[in-house]
Amino acid sequence: MPNGVKKQDLPTTTCPACQRPFTWRKKWARDWENVVYCSDACRKKR
Q: How many DSSP H helices and E strands does the chain contain? A: 1, 2
Number of compact structural domains in the chain:
1
Domain presence at residue 6: no
Domain presence at residue 1: no
Cα distance between residue 31 and residue 34, in whole Å: 5
pLDDT in tens, 1-46: 567 888 889 999 999 999 999 999 999 999 999 999 999 999 998 7
Residues spanned by the domain of 34: 12-45
Residue 45: other Cβ atoms inside 10 A: 11
Cα distance between residue 44 and residue 26, in whole Å: 22
Domain presence at residue 5: no
Q: How far is CA 30 from CA 19, 24, 27, 35, 37, in A?
A: 23, 11, 8, 10, 16
pLDDT at 45: 87
| pLDDT > 70: percent of the chain | 96
